[in-house]
Amino acid sequence: MSRLFITAALASQLALCGSAWAASLPGEQSPPPQAERPEAPDREAVLNTLFDKLAHAKSAPEARGIESAIFALWMESDSPSVDLLMGRGVDALQSGEFDRALFYFNEVISLAPDYVEGWDKRAAVYILKDDYASALKDIERLLKIEPRHFGAMGALAIILEDLGDKKGALDLYRRALKIDPWLDGAADAEKALAVDVEGRGI
């Protein structure tokens, strides 16, 4: 699989993340008051509802809106310091300043080791730096925190396919598609891998 495809796939996820971040945080200097954020159990209930809607989305535009809402909730950290670092890290990542992004995401993970998006975004940096070993470790940790993270599953599938593990990649795409049937590029990748691995299409 080409680096261009990997970069495009990550760019698609970052675009969703960026729009979700912009919607959830009105400004770097004025994060929402912690009291206005939903409590963790409420947030989990909202996520469960969103994932149910995502699994039954009827179109790609509908799914994109739900994906963005899910990312917005994942991006919430309940810590203004983490939010500030994440904002700067995402900006650096989207600008291609990978070392600077890595610095911020390292700080995020140090402050909030159970915050899923810190691991997700650091894994994205490692992938773009061709450090698959580090990316795999971060994605493994991420999926222990949030097993439904369709973006991480898609990224892991891309890595496995690039490393030659087509069966592993196929299994991951299928897992991801059960959660998000409209995950960008996943259906086409799954169909192509099904032919390679099983000798037939779906």
What is the three-state SS of 62-116? Answer: HHHHHHHHHHHHHHCCCCHHHHHHHHHHHHHHHCCCHHHHHHHHHHHHHHCCCCH
Q: For 6-10, 29-33, 55-59, 119-123, which range has the lowest pLDDT when averaged over its residues?
A: 29-33
**pLDDT band at residue 199 using 50, 70 and 90 as cut-offs:** confident
User: Can you tell me the mean pLDDT for 149-175?
Assistant: 94
User: Can you tell me the mean pLDDT for 43-68?
Assistant: 95
Which residue type occupies 5? F
CA–CA distance, 144 with 20 (Å, rounded to integer)? 23
Determine which helix (DSSP H) or strand (DSSP E) holds 181, and give its type and residue range.
none
Q: Is the pLDDT assigned to residue 32 strictly greater than 70?
A: no
Q: Give the tens place of pLDDT for each residue, 90-102.
A: 999 989 999 999 9
CA–CA distance, 192 with 189 (Å, rounded to integer)? 5
Please state the pTM of the whole predicted model: 0.81
CA-closest candidate to residue 162, choices 182, 191, 180, 135: 135
Cβ-defined contacts of 183-187 (< 8 Å, 24+): 183/63, 183/150, 183/154, 184/9, 184/12, 184/13, 184/154, 185/8, 185/9, 185/12, 185/154, 186/154, 186/157
Residue partners of 200: CB distance under 8 A and separation at least 6: 194
Q: Is the pLDDT assigned to residue 26 strictly greater than 50?
A: no
Domains and CATH numbers, the chain: 3-24+39-146 (1.25.40.10)
In angstroms, what CA-CA distances link 157 with 21, 67, 79, 125, 132?
25, 18, 31, 16, 12
Q: Give the tens place of pLDDT for each residue, 95-131.
A: 999 999 999 999 999 999 999 999 999 999 999 998 9
For all residues of the chain together, what is the average pLDDT?
84
DSSP, collapsed to helix, strand or coil, labels residue 196 as helix
Determine which helix (DSSP H) or strand (DSSP E) holds 155, and give its type and residue range.
helix 150-162
Q: Is the pLDDT assigned to residue 59 strictly greater than 70?
A: yes
Whether residue 93 contacts residue 121, with contact meaning beta carbons closer than 8 Å, is answered with yes
What's the pLDDT score for residue 29?
41
Q: Is the pLDDT assigned to residue 144 strictly greater than 60?
A: yes
Dihedral class, residue 29 (left if φ above 0, else alpha if ψ from -120 to 50, else beta): alpha
User: Can you tell me the mean pLDDT for 45-57?
Assistant: 96
CA-closest candidate to residue 176, choices 141, 168, 99, 94: 168
Q: For 35-44, 111-120, 158-167, which range has the lowest pLDDT when averaged over its residues?
A: 35-44
